[in-house]
Structure 1
């Protein structure tokens, strides 16, 4: 992977988290790591590309720090806002170092974690995240120290890493677990995990059947939270200090899992923020495509999911977050790590079009999510699919489509693509556009409705049914559930009393549009009353 640059770091975190005071080498300068300054420790002789957090640096030390940092090949210094004085800026410029500022109230350990995670998960395709390579190295180290094949699992019994040392003894249960990356479920297994997670330290567990070997295991914990477990196959040759080695391994595993979690959460947050900016049109499509692991011209569409039921405010927020998790889970299962975000009370997912019939699969995915979310959340969920667009540059338009679909879904519809409800969407937009212009709201349609209200007539509904029927009198009468002569009489009366020229196609078109959009009328008996 190419090195992270200052520009990418700023794009990832940005203001107000991080602010550039000066960057004499430009924002394309590579950043490799983040270090904490320690006045009591020897200064690093070589740290190319590092950012140095000036923890506890005293006033007047800016020049010396900048000199030493430049000599070590560092990329820049990070100071608190209040320490970004002119002399500090001048010293950084003089030595060709970038000078970055963070909020003066920011905790240094938090800044260190944020920067380190941002550098580790720097752009690249979504899903690169923090890998588990360090966990595999740890599994090998524990296996060598303890003397048995080792597996590291998360709290859901998913296998994250395993040792690969030559000559290690394994059994079929381990092979099957590694192949499926999941420990097979069974009542016996569940009982062993119960014993393991209740124990304060390593436990020895008997073989579950004659083909398996015993295990030595320990829970991986941090701050009282169980993060997973560490297992070693006991073939009768593990070392006398195996339990101590396993305990040390669990402590290291906890740090690695916490680091991976922090990186994962940061990556998810950054991806969500990137999608939010794409949806409102403020993100650069080219750089966003790179960050999301897509080609710039990859066809995509936006799917919008919304709760459709009475939910109180606090419960609604929690339910919306659960809906976000469900959408993210299903999209990840279909497409790998994926861009989803909760915005304006709706969950949006960016769906790539893969293959010839990729667009058709989107509706099936949305239907599956809606069904499962409704069951899990006990609230009706509906979904709208925007237009398939040619690349991220047009994502905002697809999002607008998806929002409009949600607004026009009928009472018995849960999912629709914009192509399926195009006429309804167009009429909705026409109603909004017409209603926003005084000149477009004027016309005979108002006079017709006023006359009906004052005289108890049904000229407006008769006109709409007749126009909906393509000016076919018999079809219009059927829609009205009246005799064709009644329909014909009403139309003559409407023309006589209101001066409407129904022989003029332009007047018919405008009258129909205004009655349908601004008047909200539709043909048929359902509109009676």
Structure 2
């Protein structure tokens, strides 16, 4: 298993929790552990360790940088922004900081959990939680369960012979604590307490519980529950408190592993959509196989004051809906656009996109648009499907917030034609420029008349209706345009090229006249 690097650590905890000031050896240096500095004990030789400058002011931590470097350590963590950047760069040691009011034991717990994290499947860390539940059950003498803050069962003990009740059986079967007003009140009492609490049975035939909240740094991560049949060990409360501390570490490690895996998978998906990743490797890592389609979701108001944060919330909405539909799923936010790779069959992709747009609009209080690219044969063609989706995004509007590329094929084709024609001198030259120049110089409406005639299928009466003029007026203008500009409207090729150039390069259509 690869060692955690400084870059991995920052991916998990960087930003609000841990700030990087300098990394002279780069972000690929290994980070092996987090050590608390003790001024009264010699510093161990610990290659790759992060030293937490406990009891040392950030501005006075310069000598500690040299000591850490001599011990082979990768970095120094100080409290506050005024750390010794110059000394860190001189000795090749990374310098990181945490907020001034951060408790060192909380920082140590967070760093240790992140350093121990590795990319893992969604259930990463739950095996350790099951082992913890068994250990607590054996020590206390009561069947044990570990839950998250939403009362979902994460792990439970399997020690034989311990009494259980119907509530526990139902919780294990559904991996969710049964909802009831009485349960809600017990959780309120539990999370308000600072230590273990004893809770009565909720109904006849059930057993009381001994429970404790699992916390880290003031954040509630879940709870540990022990079935109390009246024969728990005398030190059950102390054992449960210790178990909650271990559970906090395991839950943080599982979270860090999932965040790191999500970040790495997001980067891999980004490269797959760019066409720079090995498609076979990416498909295996991301769980993609067979035909896929790329869907793109974007806020309809990108200039929002908190657009970046809102885009992250949009990513959460898209990921949640896709995972609910397909299980493990690949989503990523790139430059304000949320991309999701949808597996075949594609019949329900549009309905899913509509549902996401509706839910996101309600949750974020801002309109969202969704574009779906072509259904392609496999992940190797995902970049092409993404390009389709991006083209569709450019033609969407309030009247059409969701569309597949097939639904707007004419629009996106003209959009791409406009780009190609505009990039090539020989394709952008021609009669259309002379028509526009003549109109500008003489105040005529030849360009508008020509486009209306083309859009009406070369029908004079139809063109006149589009222009709101008499057919004779339309006929006269076309005749004059041929004479003054030199257009041969009897030549089908000239008609086609002139219409394409006026439509794409000049941006004219019957809808704009």
TM-score range, shorter chain: 0.7 to 0.9
Distance in 2 separating the partners of 1:56 and 1:455 = 77
Distance in 1 separating the partners of 2:8 and 2:219 = 29
Distance in 2 separating the partners of 1:207 and 1:36 = 43
1:130 to 118, 121, 124: 124
Residue deviations 1:398-425, cap 9 Å, x none? Answer: 2111111110113311111111111111
Structure 1 unaligned spans of 5+: 21-32, 44-51, 58-77, 83-102, 122-126
Q: CA deviation at 1:346?
A: 1.1
Structure 2 SS opposite 1:152: strand
1:389 to 368, 371, 376: 376
Q: CA deviation at 1:226?
A: 0.9
Distance in 2 separating the partners of 1:300 and 1:417 = 14
Structure 2 SS opposite 1:226: strand
8 A contact 2:451–2:503 mirrored in 1: yes
8 A contact 1:196–1:203 mirrored in 2: yes
Q: Which residue of 2 aligns with 1:332?
A: 323
Distance in 2 separating the partners of 1:289 and 1:11 = 24
Moved more, 107-116 or 406-415: 107-116
Q: CA deviation at 1:220?
A: 0.6
Q: 2:154 aligned with 1:160, yes or no?
A: yes
Q: 2:402 aligned with 1:411, yes or no?
A: no
Question: 1:440-459 maps to which residues of 2 (within 5 A)?
Answer: 440-459=427-446
Q: Which residue of 2 aligns with 1:527?
A: 512
1:17 to 1, 6, 27: 27
1:191 to 182, 185, 190: 185
Change (3 A) 1:18 1:111: farther
Structure 2 SS opposite 1:137: helix
Q: 2:411 aligned with 1:424, yes or no?
A: yes
**CA RMSD, Structure 1 to Structure 2 (Å):** 3.3
Question: 1:79-228 maps to which residues of 2 (within 5 A)?
Answer: 104-105=93-94, 116-118=116-118, 121=120, 127-128=121-122, 130-228=124-222
Q: Which residue of 1 aligns with 2:273?
A: 279
Distance in 1 separating the partners of 2:481 and 2:461 = 18
Structure 2 unaligned spans of 5+: 12-24, 36-40, 52-70, 76-91, 97-106
TM-score of the pair, normalised by structure 1:
0.77
Question: 1:349-364 maps to which residues of 2 (within 5 A)?
Answer: 349-353=340-344, 358-364=345-351
Distance in 2 separating the partners of 1:312 and 1:19 = 38
1:301 to 273, 288, 293: 293
Q: 2:486 aligned with 1:476, yes or no?
A: no
Change (3 A) 1:130 1:294: same
Change (3 A) 1:218 1:34: same
Q: Which residue of 2 aligns with 1:463?
A: 450
Q: CA deviation at 1:483?
A: 3.6
Residue deviations 1:198-252, cap 9 Å, x none? Answer: 1111111112222432111100111221110011122222222221121111111
Distance in 2 separating the partners of 1:10 and 1:288 = 24
Change (3 A) 1:447 1:150: same
8 A contact 2:113–2:250 mirrored in 1: no
Residue deviations 1:34-75, cap 9 Å, x none? Answer: 6899x99999xxxxxxxx945599xxxxxxxxxxxxxxxxxx
Q: CA deviation at 1:114?
A: 5.8
Structure 2 SS opposite 1:359: coil
Distance in 1 separating the partners of 2:72 and 2:270 = 30
TM-score of the pair, normalised by structure 2:
0.79
Q: CA deviation at 1:257?
A: 0.4
Q: Which residue of 2 aligns with 1:345?
A: 336
Distance in 2 separating the partners of 1:212 and 1:113 = 37
